[in-house]
Amino acid sequence: MKRIITATMAALILVLAFAGCGGSSVDLKKVMTDVNAKYTDATSGLKELKEVADLDKYYSIAEKDVKQFAAEINPDTSSAPVEIVLVEAVDKTASDSVKKALDARYQSIYSTYSSYSADQVELVKKCKVTQNGNFVTLVVASDYDGIMEIVNNAIK
């Protein structure tokens, strides 16, 4: 009887250990690929930011705060704003810092487009910066809800 209990306890400990280590990792580049595949109209012509240093250049996000990222922006500032920035920060403190930087960018976009047509301002108003654990996103696009559904399903 003792052997059965011991074996059962050992098996339970192994199961719990593997469950704790087997957390799914999210590949933000793949998430961006999925977004691009589904929302071709909204994402065509966007410029991909390839280097972590680009996040500092465009968003004042410190390289040390970034575990991984995927980002695409519209290089044509005369058209409707489109920016998709997905960042996984290294920890909670870094995540808060990234959120602050992306909030500042969102406010800048809002200020810029508030002097444009009412349609563009409404588009920006429907979008926002989100934070889910160490994941922080800035999505400004006409397909905001659908894009965020893909992102949120990936980072669950």
The per-residue pLDDT for 79 is 66
Strand-strand pairing, 47-49 and 83-89: unpaired
The per-residue pLDDT for 13 is 58
Locate the domains of the chain by residue range.
25-155
The per-residue pLDDT for 2 is 61
Contact 102, 121 (CB under 8 A): no
The per-residue pLDDT for 113 is 79
Torsion angle of C-alpha atoms 88, 92, 97, 99, degrees rounded to 10: 60
CA distance 88 to 72: 15
The per-residue pLDDT for 83 is 92
User: Mean pLDDT over all residues of the chain?
Assistant: 85
CA distance 84 to 106: 11
**Lowest mean pLDDT, pick from 54-58, 73-77, 88-92:** 73-77
Q: Tokens 């429907």 — which residue?
A: 126
